[in-house]
Amino acid sequence: MTDAEPGALMTAEIDQQPNMLATIAQNRADIAAVAEDIANHPPRFALLAARGSSDHAAIYAKYLIEVLLGLPVGLVSPSTTTLYGARPDLRDVLLVSVSQSGGSPDLLEVTQAAREAGARTVAVSNTPSSQLFAAADLAVDIGAGQERAVAATKTYTATLLSLYLLVDAIRGGKGEAAADIGERAEATLRDSADQVARAVDRYRFADRVVAAARGYSYATALESSLKLAETSYLQTRAYSGADLLHGPVAAVDEETAVLGVTSTGRGGDVMGDVLAAVGDRGADVLAVGSAASRMPAALRIDVPETVEEIAPVLEILPVQRLALRLSLARGGNPDNPRGLHKVTKTR
């Protein structure tokens, strides 16, 4: 397959992830140094700023920080800074700006303004030469290497793993739970291939997809929805499983495909009732995750079991491949979706 063939770039970048993740897990020194600085300046609370796929990674980090560090966390609305000129008092606050490209003007402005307002600022990006890195007090290079396909794949999982290692190191951990993440990622892609192929055959003519999850995996539901929308132009929505049952479930019917992310742990444990409810309404359910075999679903994509807080690094891998192959089956080119660019400039 040459780079010019549709899907060649996205295919290569999906396949690079096991080795990339193993390398990130093994080379923790820079992340540990940033974590030590944060631990030595304990914040009152944390704020997260991001856009797009990076926003989903930030939501994952929100769960990590609240659960593992016991700190309250908020998601920044960049426009309050860029459009409305808000300048809240951020003394003793940790602000983490997540941008794979480091090229979002609004995140740069948010980071600069937060630093001026007294926050301890951290940039998490794949571009150490970016202005965002220069603007922050501290920086984490996620080390994914160049990503050429428009749809983010390896930069997304690299961001997730880097954020996990950062939070784990702040609490004094050494990343033990992620030590074999490369092997688990390789097993995920290898062992899910046939299940992904069956899902492609089943959903290639779908028009509407709802993704749902609870807990840490909510970030995976959000990213799954985005990947399917941007590569296959599907009408997609993502919900917390709890929110789905609080109203939106009324729009679920026989014409709806539901992708339920269900890994072993507290979040996955409560997804059984959610998937049963949408199944009762006639939805075609695909369960993805290490708890998929226990879920009421028409199709399942299994993922190796790991501790719940790093399951999102693995869960998204077969969904990336599903998005890739659905796009190709529907006549698209996932490397270059129409109307999209690698870096989106917003303010």
Options 3.60.70.12, 3.40.50.10490, 1.10.150.530, 3.40.640.10; CATH for 8-178 is 3.40.50.10490
pLDDT at 337: 78
Q: How far apart are the first and last CA of the chain?
A: 38
pLDDT at 338: 66
pLDDT at 56: 98
Same fold, 8-178 and 181-329: yes
Query: Which CATH architecture group holds 181-329?
Result: 3-Layer(aba) Sandwich (3.40)
- Phi/psi of residue 208, nearest 5 degrees: -135, 125
> Model-level pTM?
0.96
Q: Give how far Cα 199 sits from Cα of 228, 244, 266, Å.
A: 13, 22, 26
Residue indicated by tokens 């930069």: 155
pLDDT per position in the chain (347 positions), as tens?
Answer: 677 799 999 999 999 999 999 999 999 899 999 999 999 999 999 999 999 999 999 999 999 999 999 999 999 999 999 999 999 999 999 999 999 999 889 999 999 999 999 999 999 999 999 999 999 999 999 999 999 999 999 999 999 999 999 999 999 999 999 999 999 999 999 999 999 999 999 999 998 999 999 999 999 999 999 999 999 999 999 999 999 999 999 999 999 999 999 999 999 999 999 999 999 999 999 999 999 999 999 999 999 999 999 999 999 999 999 999 999 999 999 998 765 555 556 66
* Domain locations along the chain: 8-178, 181-329
Q: Is 109 helix (H, G, I), strand (E, B) or coil?
A: helix
